[in-house]
Structure 1
């Protein structure tokens, strides 16, 4: 770009931190004329397309270049048609319903009212540095914009904890049945790259219900140089997987109420025929049983679940928990801090499932017929001056260190010199299956780690429980309001 054009456009080369406020402002203005989610999809798509066009510039390509787009939008008062045509060429085409509309189904219609803001957005993106970081920033905002339907992406701190807890390896077959932006699959590959100098090429499979989200996943995978098999849009819970996986990573929507829309559940389904059918009004255990069934012999899984899955007293939930514990599939349950997902305030737990807890499995100690509980409710920190929270890096390391020494494989850089596992009141406790049976198969970590009579721990847990219940009621009220508005619109 010439100095004259740079002065005329009024933008300079900026880092992602410098660009972010301008991108936010423009996305908000575009969103006021479309909607917030479509606005952030356009932003993400343009950042990705600029990166993809740059990566492709040395090859012979019939697709328009990024410079083609900037030249057209600088000269022509109408911007939307150029943007839509450009993105239609650069976005993956697999989900296009009609060849004559190749790719356009993934790009919202762009009215003339957004032309001025689109032009400014292209100028800002054109002068941005660190496209990978900018893409991740925009993905977080896209996740926030579509989170009201339970369709959000996994923050990087939580993804790191989940991946390191299951230790994926290069030869593993890895599945995410609710892959969203493919962040967990990408983190699995980044983890392997950090631990080897070899070119890692695990077998990655991602599934998701929404075509638009799979489009985002493909962009994210491309930007990280990761290859994965993304299935066409599908309901993962509709049927069991046909193959076994060594590692399953999943952050499914919490407490999804309409997971069996056909109104029927087959008692002979191999996922729950051994236990009992999951409740139609709550998909939590449908996901857990689906994932357990997908594990190969020796396979392990990391799954995020709302707290209710660990201690709900409903008969079906308790029976399934009893079956999972009796079959020795549950390896560890970690109580995470509330507020890690800004749009889902209810507290949640990380469940680790493992089909081989023997010394020949992931660890060096026989942990058959035992379950580890970790209470990490306080392991969070505020992000700057924002209202957002994340897992404290020291808290992540402490969780992983505790899990490692319990398994008998201490981490290379432990927080403290500990040769053997020991229960820590208020933090961790290892329970036998008989102890869990005596306690009614309640798997909520604070109920195991807090000592009896610990008034401080009990009061803190009660506050968390009440806060979670309150936010759950808020979410139910929002859902009810949306249904009422739809009903009124139809009158």
Structure 2
């Protein structure tokens, strides 16, 4: 997007977060995120619904021979009848489902919330199906009613949307949030007099993602469990290129990998002049999450993006309650908790997933890896974020499992990441890329058998603040292009300190340790062409000048101390 659009989104983020953060005095981040994200969800589905209504209205009135939606004015006795027919057609549910737009009942539409929330408590809102008056109990009840109506009309969301009445928030605070969201143009936004090309899905999706990140920061370690840095998710998705097929994340959090996959497919479709909506139909997403709250957030996230999903019947422990036992996915991506200790159960002792060795009971790293391999199709590819220790540890069978994975030629690429990337841990991390087929039989890639690519990205990125590091788009492109060039055998070459292609024999010589630095070496130092006598003279003069500056500064400080009464 251009700078104006980016500035618009930044200003919008700040405005909405400031309004939402006022709830912090009443609720902690773990709870008020449900209130805010619930309202964002309602605003989005309502805006998307209204956008579809506007496009349908144009279709109904467009006299075109190829337009199957056209509703002729001549078929009606009066203009009043025609207008009523148009209104009736706009309430036909199938028109929305065919465009992958959630059906929003009248009681859940944003205009209804905005109009009814300002009424006195006890006011009659509407009549129910039995003809009884429905009265306003509170603003939180009005919001909960809207969420319930959406669940009734969209079975995929049954039991997903979190009710907010339990948090007992003042009507005025909720009304303030509703007004703030209402005052913001999510459809056809204008910024500094310029009409932006952003759609409501772009804007609301961005806001939802921003809020997930902010809540992760506000909650610290607990919140960080479901938030992977956007740049790392983007890096993994662009390296794997999940254009079509089944995509699985066994530790999905709020569904960040699926969101990035959807964006990637849309961009690819535009480049190839395909219809993005049609292209997205070629991919199906499967996920699992143990935390019930996060499981619901992920479903809401998919609904906002218009992504069809299967997250199992319920939240559940990935190892003990696999929600997709028969799944064989084309792409598997995950960022599970690092070095997870409390995961083992004796029921897992002879599990079929431990094909390459039983993982240690006190660390789930290689349990996650083998679970993902178990669910990978014979030609599938996967990416897994793990702590750096996974590349070299030899304790409790980890070294033997890693050796088996290398001997079976499953590992394709190792990427070492910089520190300070994650909100919830300072543990250095790496990305493992594995595949079950490196033969290149599909014709899209070369034969890569008995070879592993090592990329050392520890020196990439920038400090976005005093605590967190991040990748730029150029950093992501550098790593991705290197990986794809190596896979295809076109334009790749080893670069000291950054990337190296290693054979099985080389890895064996390093005792099957996969630390990237062992293979890429150190970057070549820049050649120094300055003659030594000239360099020595220049540096001596520079040092003399710095000593003189230091003496002047010391003298000035002593003078100022004497002036304010301190005897030096």
TM-score range, shorter chain: 0.7 to 0.9
Which residue of structure 1 aligns with residue 192 of structure 2?
none
Say if 2:432 is the partner of 1:351.
Answer: yes
Are the aligned partners of 2:160 and 2:296 in contact in 1 as well (CA < 8 Å)? Answer: no
Question: SS state of the match for residue 56, structure 1?
Answer: helix
Say if 2:13 is the partner of 1:20.
Answer: yes
Say if 2:484 is the partner of 1:404.
Answer: yes
Unaligned runs of 5+ in 1: 1-13, 97-101, 411-418, 455-491
Deviation at 1:156, TM superposition (A): 2.4
Question: SS state of the match for residue 348, structure 2?
Answer: coil
Deviation string, structure 1 residues 60-82 (Cα, Å, up to 9, x no partner): 33543212222233234753332
**323-332 or 190-199, larger mean C-alpha shift:** 190-199
Unaligned runs of 5+ in 2: 1-6, 54-89, 92-104, 122-137, 187-202, 526-568
Distance 1:229 1:297 in 2: 21
Are the aligned partners of 2:226 and 2:252 in contact in 1 as well (CA < 8 Å)? Answer: no
Question: 164, 167, 178: which one pairs with 1:110?
Answer: 167
TM-score (norm 2): 0.69
Say if 2:147 is the partner of 1:87.
Answer: yes
Question: SS state of the match for residue 319, structure 2?
Answer: helix
Residues 89-488 of structure 1: matches in 2 within 5 Å? Answer: 89-90=149-150, 106-107=163-164, 109-112=166-169, 114-128=170-184, 129=186, 130-146=203-219, 148-149=221-222, 151-170=225-244, 172-196=245-269, 197-198=274-275, 199-200=278-279, 201=281, 202-231=283-312, 232-238=314-320, 241-260=325-344, 263-272=345-354, 274-361=355-442, 363-383=444-464, 387-408=467-488, 410=490, 419=491, 421-451=492-522
Deviation string, structure 1 residues 447-487 (Cα, Å, up to 9, x no partner): 32225999xxxxxxxxxxxxxxxxxxxxxxxxxxxxxxxxx
Are the aligned partners of 1:52 and 1:90 in contact in 2 as well (CA < 8 Å)? Answer: no
Which residue of structure 1 aligns with residue 59 of structure 2?
none
Deviation at 1:212, TM superposition (A): 2.0
Question: 3, 10, 24: which one pairs with 1:31?
Answer: 24
Distance 1:29 1:286 in 2: 42
Deviation at 1:380, TM superposition (A): 0.9
Are the aligned partners of 2:108 and 2:147 in contact in 1 as well (CA < 8 Å)? Answer: no
TM-score (norm 1): 0.79
Distance 1:441 1:124 in 2: 57
Deviation string, structure 1 residues 127-183 (Cα, Å, up to 9, x no partner): 22332322221122233345513522223221221112112232x121111112222
Deviation at 1:95, TM superposition (A): 7.7
Q: Which has the larger radius of gyration?
A: 2
Runs of 4+ in 1 over 6 A off after TM superposition: 92-96
Query: Against the structure 1 CA distance between its residues 251 and 207, is the aligned structure 2 distance closer, same or farther, given a 3 Å change threshold?
Result: same
Question: SS state of the match for residue 346, structure 2?
Answer: coil
Are the aligned partners of 1:364 and 1:407 in contact in 2 as well (CA < 8 Å)? Answer: yes
Deviation at 1:93, TM superposition (A): 6.8
